[in-house]
Chain A
Amino acid sequence: MFVKKVRQRLEWYRHAHAKDMPIHAIARLIQTMLYARRFFPYYVYNILGGIEEDGTGAVYSFDPVGSYEREACRAAGAAQSLVQPFLDNQIYFKNQTPAPGRPFPTHLTIEHVVDLVIDSFTSATERHIEVGDGLEIYVVFSRASENVQAITNRFYGSIQELTATRDGERVFVIRQELKKD
């Protein structure tokens, strides 16, 4: 329901301003929409992901009443206490010392990141009873990205493109099965 309302606001913006709403603006919009119901909040934990105006990938996470922050990675939901520490270690390299002379990379490849996401979910499924059945990963590529081919080859069969045109940003869905017990 909340996502439906956000989608509506994005359409109003497009009609009013003749352009798509940039991600940082959508994040601010979501904050105001959530805080407007400060005393009868939406029971939603949002994570917004997309491509910023400057072409970089952005992840914004929100609490139910609108507090938000841009981050490199965030896990939310039932198994967040299992997955967030794993991400902190593998994405931010927390609690790890790099090998001398080989500092940790600042950006990871798309294949590396999708592997981490899949492993996070299979691990969460093992130990949390409410996690499982299936997984959908949405991947958003910026206009000039050369990494699209790597992902479409790797997941041939389970990947599907959602964007109609090949120029501009491209969005893909990867579907995977998870344990059903």
Chain B
Amino acid sequence: MASPSVFKSPGFDFSNQLRNNFLAEKGLPLPKATSTGTTIVGCLFKDGIVLGADTRATEGEIVADKNCEKIHYITDSIRCCGAGTAADTEFTTALISSNMELHALHTGRKPRVVTAMTMLKQMLFRYQGHVGAALVLGGVDSSGPHLFTIHPHGSTDKLPYVTMGSGSLAAMAVFESQWKPNMERQEALDLVISAISAGIFNDLGSGSNVDACIITANHTEMLRNVEMPNERVKKERNYKFRRGTTAWKKEEIRKLVIDEQVTTLATGDEMDTS
């Protein structure tokens, strides 16, 4: 209920629950949250991890963002791909990224992937699946390269190759036919690009471009839009409107400057940089 206090307690605010349930009963459904639809993958290779993601964000059947970023920063050597509700993946990864930085400063050691995984799974379990974030977490730390997948309810799996999102079946089909252990960097990157492309072309919820991220022991390389197989063709016509196309009924011009007086300073026009 609305209270006069300015202080807002942390966590979710459920004060609209009663009203929303009432409206839903009356026939007004909850507005669709932007969902990333999505194909995200992670793959272990000889020197580290390759993560991949498509770039389409959907609101139901409509494309909300044609080039969004689904590979989120956790630490310099750890990245996380997010599928599910866009806001949930954004905020969850940002929170854990922030906490990882504090943890690293507190312990004085470089952060580990298992730490991020544990923080994420404990938070998602606490929210019993209501935070719709399905994540592929990968990185290289002092104990080697690690790849995890985290489901919205908090379960995790540690695997050499993973896929999540609505396009996960298409991507996994590619992985299952071509993945092998100890691949070279280019081989792994090509495999990831082809898995994401399978999702892009065969899944309606995924589309546009391929993003990739290669994480090794001493270097992380973010390849934004590494493949762009879906550029828009040039339109047949030019739709520029003539000036004056939009009709207006009334015109009112208000002069906001009532009185202006310019006084030149004796020192001249130059800025005083002393």
Contacts and interface: CB of A to CB of B under 8 A. Distances in A.
B245 A119 contact: no
Interface stretch (B146-154, B156-164, B228-236): B228-236
B37 to A, nearest CB: 7
B242 interface: yes
Main secondary structure of the interface of B (DSSP, over half): loop
B89 interface: no
Interface in A102-134: 112, 115-116, 118-119, 122, 126-130
A112 B236 CA distance: 9
B66 interface: yes
A153 interface: no
User: Which of under 10, 10 to 19, 20 to 34, or 35 or more describes the interface residues of A?
Assistant: 20 to 34
Interface in A132-181: 179-181
B253 interface: no
Nearest to A179: B230
A97 B241 CA distance: 10
Contacts of A115: 236-237
A99 B237 contact: no
B127 to A, nearest CB: 28
Given A122-B233, A180-B201, A127 B242 contact: no
Nearest to B236: A115
B48 interface: no
Nearest to B55: A181
A119 B241 contact: no
Interface string B200-232: 110011111000000000000000000001101
Nearest to A129: B204
Given A95-B246, A128-B61, A129-B56, 6 more contacts: A96-B246, A97-B244, A118-B236, A122-B235, A129-B37, A181-B56
5 smallest A-B Cβ distances: which pairs? A181-B207, A115-B236, A129-B204, A97-B247, A181-B230
19 contacts: A96-B241, A97-B247, A99-B244, A116-B237, A119-B237, A126-B66, A128-B63, A129-B56, A129-B61, A129-B62, A129-B205, A129-B207, A130-B61, A179-B230, A179-B232, A181-B56, A181-B206, A181-B207, A181-B230
